[in-house]
Amino acid sequence: MFDGILIEKDSQGLRAERTALNLAQLPPGNVLIDVDYSTLNYKDALAITDAGPVVRSFPMVPGIDLAGTVVSSEHPAWRAGDAVLLNGWGIGELHWGGLAQKARVNGDWLIPQPAGFTQAQAMAIGTAGYTAMLCIMALQKYGVTAQQGEVLVTGASGGVGSFAIALLAQMGYDVVASTGRASEESYLKNLGARRIIDRNELSQPGKALGKERWAGVVDSVGSHTLANACATTHYHGAVAACGLAQGMDLPATVAPFILRGVALLGIDSSRRPQADRVEAWARLDQHLERRLLASVTQATLGLDDVVGAARQLIDGQVRGRLVVDVNR
């Protein structure tokens, strides 16, 4: 037997709670893992609180990240004792995820535990930091350099935003952080933001084109914020979009794309090829200052803390990252 967070849904509604599970309940897979750490992401919180249609089948163990050790493997790449990392691939949505003490998964989804990080540090980074790096890689591949001007990061005090600020600043970019929490100014500047703007500058309906302000953008918010970010990006600048905290809609016009040549780069982290994952984690190892991990991580939770923390995350009461020690 082992413990995990189990989401169930029936005629009385959805409920999520810590539950005793057994190996026979685990879904099919060719690698069995002892999970050491997971995370609580916004997507996990949507699933646990039923605030969004994340879970595709029930019952479900949430958790889109996990770090652990292989117990047994029928996959040629892995053997017992290997330290592994998993981000995405539908775990916590379509396939039982990381918020349990054991997981059975497809070995193709795994990468080796990055040597430069402990398992707890890797989960402090998690999908949020990995996605932030994918956004930056996309901007740089498009040609956005530090010399071209300011880079905007929306949803700045969230997980993706926090890491995007820290990484961009370390790479020499001038970062502007957009947030609705004025109280987080010192936190964001400690991460490396040069200046802070109120999210209301971007979150309301705007013009088809505005003043050119940003060489590049990392957006985890969507909706009007993304539309306004595109409308205020420099000629031949780029916007990397990876989230929908404000909404899934995009109330924009084609003007930024056909009149300024702005590129809108969609960033999917869940089904990314292994080579991209390994590169992103290698670049995180290279560019992420370890001292910032403590400030980006709000708390390390036990399984009993997860459901309550999910509600706080949905209510916007969480800054940065929540790591989960699943054996607590």
How many other C-beta atoms can be found within 10 angstroms of the C-beta atom of residue 56?
A: 11
- For the chain, the C-alpha Rg in angstroms (whole number) is 20
> Which CATH number applies to 2-113+291-325?
3.90.180.10
- The CA-to-CA distance between both ends of the chain, in Å, stands at 15
Domain ranges of the chain: 2-113+291-325, 127-266
Confidence (pLDDT) at 294: 85
pLDDT tens track for 18-32: 999 999 999 999 999
E strands along the chain, which residues?
2-10, 13-21, 31-39, 65-73, 83-87, 102-105, 111-112, 151-153, 175-179, 195-198, 214-219, 233-241, 263-266, 297-301, 321-325
pLDDT at 182 over 90: no
Confidence (pLDDT) at 121: 96
Contact by Cβ (8 Å): 70, 82: yes
How far is residue 91's CA from residue 323's CA, in Å, rounded to a whole number? 17
How far is residue 300's CA from residue 113's CA, in Å, rounded to a whole number? 19
pLDDT tens track for 223-272: 999 999 999 999 999 999 999 989 999 999 999 999 999 999 999 999 99
> Which CATH number applies to 127-266?
3.40.50.720
How many other C-beta atoms can be found within 10 angstroms of the C-beta atom of residue 51?
A: 15
pLDDT tier at 53, thresholds 50, 70, 90: confident
Q: What mean pLDDT is predicted for residues 276-299?
A: 92
pLDDT tens track for 116-171: 999 999 999 999 999 999 999 999 999 999 999 999 999 999 889 999 999 999 99
pLDDT tier at 8, thresholds 50, 70, 90: very high
